[in-house]
Amino acid sequence: MPPESPASLPVPRTLDAWLKQLDGVRLPVPVSSHDRVLGALGDSRRSMRDIAELMQESPALVLCVLREANHHSTGMTEPAESLEVAINRLGLKRTEELLQRLPAMQRDEIPGTLRQLQMISQHATQQANGLFAGRLARLWQDIHWGSLLFLSPLWPMAIAHPKLLEDWELRVIHKGESAQKVEKELFGVSLVKLCLALAELWRLPMWVTQGYHSLIDDRRLLVKVLRIARGHLNPLHQRQLLDADPSLRRWLNQPAMTILLANGIALSAQHAWDSPQSERWQLLTSLYLQTPLDDLQQQIHQHAAQSARNHWSKGVWHPAEALIWPWETRRVHRGMLPAPPPSAEALTAWRKYCAELLVEPSRFNNAMHLTTFARDALVACGMQRVMLLMTDRNMTILRVHQIAGLDKEAANLTLNIASSTVLQRLLAQPTQLRLTPANTAQFAALLPSQLKALFTGEHLLLRSLSSNDRVVMLVFADQGGGPFSEISVQAFGKTAQCIERALASFSNRKA
């Protein structure tokens, strides 16, 4: 069964309501991981460690097994701190039954916001293992599982309310608005307090809850440590300041701090390696490890590259990609940078699709056949999210014919033309409209809410296409909501011309 549909879930406004809703969200597991783990569970030659290692390919599966094991533990039993312990507690049969109840989906069908968050967790685990596990070898399991699961309270929200998380990131990280104000407006509660409450409800590893307590209760200590960390050019003076405050030194040196530092590095790197947020976490980690900042930066870049080799997935951003950019461009979030141009292979495929669209007489059997080629041509030229809609005979309704990069539910969308002046303008005559941060506020307010929910971001191409002097099709396309590659924009325009000629040729053939 698929996970709960976001459209069916209201946005809670209290902590209790959030806990009740998010605790009930079932996280999807990639089919490939699901099948491999099921096979291993039925193989008597496999050890618990083998099974646990296979499960790590899917962070959602790790969380589900740990939650199940801890949920069924008695009040006298300590929560399972590792996956092997959790599997032992459940037993192979119950673990297999749990796995069979989980929704299994193809990897590219799992919502992108969830995949992105889980990749950040995997990146954090790589950083934690590389930076700390060797120094604290007997605690490596606590470091490994704690770093992987630290952000797991946000995973069900990525299924239930992905738009809220995207809005939070845009407003807090990129526009610099107050986190307290934004969270009150979007969630009704503090996001960190919600994560702590879920971590306690699920009985996640102790270091996870300890990390959230540090963010909530120990902010003054964090500020004091950061002031000391800023003096990284004088390590002797740093040590003297810490020696003068033993309680602060003990607080900083607690092993649970490794979980917070690794996730801080991974999260801030999503924005930019040299952003103020990233710099703060690097300085804190440098002080914790008593390692020169330059050496630390080299290490975290290496760990990021290794994480990208291990965890990269199509459609998911990994900050290791930014390491090849010129340094001064890294301050700009990847969503604010132009998308990369299409590869040579993609452009070759694009030309083939366009050539098929231009063949006369038309080779297409029906409108769906034609729009399939049109959609694939748009994807090949670099568009990540695409929707093609066609009008009815009375020009009152638009119905979706093709989608790419959008949730399957979008294929059932119908739009009332009279409800939007932008739609009316596009349907009056063939027109291309390009939304940017400069005009998106002006036009986005006039678009149907269903479209705005699907095409998040501030960059969007809208094009209306005609056949026999009548607009019959609308095309919406973007490159993930960020700035376009100009090569892709040019190819989009040429593709639209090819589709228009294909529509005319198809209509004439029918006549």
Which domains, ranges and CATH numbers included, belong to the chain?
29-109 (no CATH), 112-334 (no CATH), 344-510 (3.30.450.40)
8 A C-beta contact, residue 307 and residue 129: no
Bridge partner residues of 387 (DSSP): 403, 476
pLDDT of 240 reads: 95
How far, in Å, CA of 259 to CA of 253, rounded?
A: 12
Choose between 159 and 335: higher pLDDT. Answer: 159
Q: What is the mean pLDDT of residues 144-172?
A: 91
In the numeric block, the tokens 């039993």 are attached to: 77
| 3-state per-residue secondary structure call for 464-475 | EEEECCEEEEEE
Bridge partner residues of 400 (DSSP): 389
Q: What is the mean pLDDT of residues 258-282?
A: 91
Identify how many contiguous H helices and E strands the chain contains and give both numbers: 24, 8
Confidence band (pLDDT; 50, 70, 90) for 245? very high
Confidence band (pLDDT; 50, 70, 90) for 327? low
Highest mean pLDDT among 102-111, 125-134, 415-424: 125-134
CB atoms within 10 A of CB 68: 20
Report DSSP state, residue 103.
Answer: -
- % of the chain beyond a pLDDT of 90: 59
Confidence band (pLDDT; 50, 70, 90) for 356? very high
pLDDT of 481 reads: 83
**Chain length of the chain:** 511
8 A C-beta contact, residue 22 and residue 157: yes
- List the structure tokens of 497: 């011309």
pLDDT tens per residue across span 477-492:
999 888 888 889 999 9
* pTM of the entire predicted model: 0.68
Q: Strand, helix or coil at 436?
A: coil
How far, in Å, CA of 172 to CA of 164, rounded?
A: 12
Confidence band (pLDDT; 50, 70, 90) for 19? very high
pLDDT tens per residue across span 21-47:
999 999 999 999 999 999 998 888 888
pLDDT tens per residue across span 83-95:
888 998 889 999 9
